[in-house]
Amino acid sequence: MADEDILARLEATIRARKDSPAVRSYTASLFFQGRHKIAQKVGEEAVETVIAACSGEDQDIVPEAADLLFHLMILLADAGLSLDDVRRELARREGQSGHDEKAGRPLSFRPE
């Protein structure tokens, strides 16, 4: 059974690292390097997830997805946001088909 509280604990750890930059910590070092470095790591981990999805065993996606989620949570924290903000956005979308949402966009917002 998965640990259902891990994201809440990880989020608290990430916030604590943001507030205590002196601690020797990978997370704190990313906050120190700033938004561009954090965003770059999110991009790298996203690409590594895509590579795992397209070339490895399905189970290989799991550690890459964990890296991606971890770095995405650091990005959210850097912006003063949290998983709750993402939960609220997902809840707002709940029940609306992605096809319907896309069809309702103004023409200028519709990529091909």
Q: Minimum Å distance from CB 5 to ligand PRT?
A: 12
Binding-residue pattern over the window 38 to 67 for ligand PRT, x denoting contact by CB under 6 A: ---x-------------------------x
59, 68 contact by CB (below 8 A): no
Q: Binding to ligand PRT by residue 10, rule CB under 6 A?
A: yes
Q: Which is nearer to ligand PRT, 32 or 88 (CB)?
A: 32
Kindly state the number of chain residues that form the binding site for ligand PRT, as judged by CB under 6 A: 10
Kind plus residue range of the DSSP H or E element containing 10: helix 6-19
Sole window of 23-31, 53-61, 80-88, 104-112 interacting with ligand PRT (rule: CB under 6 A): 23-31
Q: Minimum Å distance from CB 16 to ligand PRT?
A: 9
Residue 1 buriedness (CB in 10 A; 0-12 / 13-18 / 19+): exposed
Residue whose structure tokens are 């924290």:
77
| Lookup: tokens for 101 | 């949402």
* Residues 6+ positions from 49 with CB-CB distance below 8 Å: 61, 64, 65, 67, 68
Q: Given the rule CB under 6 A, which residues bind ligand PRT?
A: 10, 13, 17, 25-28, 41, 67, 70
